[in-house]
Amino acid sequence: MPTRQPFGSVLCWLLVGWAGGALAAAPTAAADPALAAAIASPDRPPAAVARDAVRHPLEELTFFGLGPTQTVVELWPGGGYWTDILGPYLAPHGHYYVALPGGGEESAGAARWRERYAAQPQRYGKISVTALGPAQFDIAPPGSADLVLTFRNLHNWMDGGYAAQALAACFRALKPGGILGIEEHRARTDRPQDPKAKNGYVRQDYTIALAQQAGFKLVGSSEINANPRDTKDWVDGVWTLPPTLSQGDKDRARYLAVGEADNFVLKFRKPGH
């Protein structure tokens, strides 16, 4: 803002060529059993587990190349869907930064995140908490991160007017050769991109251009979170659909039948080693 996937081969694809829109794809490596165990943990909230079938955490994190000894930065964790997985997985041998929304008084959501996660080092490890936007962009020490992850947040930074600064912060934080993983609600290609993304949707080509302007190279694309039922013309934008269901009971069955938004998943690399 989906029933658990079996451990084994991951049904997502690595883009190894990009020329004139042509794709050359190869399957990613098999998932880490420790990651599968973190996702299968009985300590995860039932509401989060219920979304695994549409969010595909095992496939997506494996696609991004997550490893147990990495330094990982998660941007704007929201309710903690990914924190519940990343924290326990990285706690034994990795280093985990979380950048909460910055600027002014801390939101109620960020305060709830701190209460649940930062206060439980025995389960989630020692999480280093930083801030992102609108004037705070030191998400991790320069050149320290192996992997920076953002899930469905780019439209918020566009609305705030600091998407370019946010992506520049990701570039600074990553080691040469480090990976930026972006998941976002996919906008229609037959309409121009609203630079504020007021409906919550962002064109995939627009996102690629923003990341390339920040210095990144596109190296992968996955359709694991695609949803062709999403027509992207809803009365209240993406928030009309689950999990928000902004219209309440009005046409609820229709929106539940559509499901969560159509989302793209992109993998970028900071040039270097």
CATH of the domain at 158: 3.40.50.150
At 273, the pLDDT band (50, 70, 90 cuts) reads confident
Q: For residues 125 and 109, which has the higher predicted lDDT (pLDDT)?
A: 125
- Domain range for 245: 13-269
Classify residue 170: in a domain, yes or no: yes
The tally of domains found in the chain comes to 1
Q: How far apart are CA 132 and CA 127, in angstroms?
A: 16
User: pLDDT tens for residues 35-71?
Assistant: 999 999 999 999 999 999 999 999 999 999 999 999 9
β-bridge partners, 24: 17
Whether the predicted pLDDT of 82 surpasses 70: yes
User: Alpha helices, DSSP H only, in the chain?
Assistant: 33-39, 46-49, 52-55, 57-64, 83-90, 108-113, 121-124, 154-160, 163-173, 204-213, 252-258
The predicted pLDDT at position 31 comes to 86
Let me know if residue 33 belongs to a domain. Answer: yes
Structure tokens of 169? Answer: 């912060």
Q: What is the pTM (predicted TM-score) of this model? A: 0.89
Residue 156, in any domain of the structure: yes
Name which of 23, 55, 25 is nearest 39 in CA terms: 55
**Average pLDDT of the chain?**
90
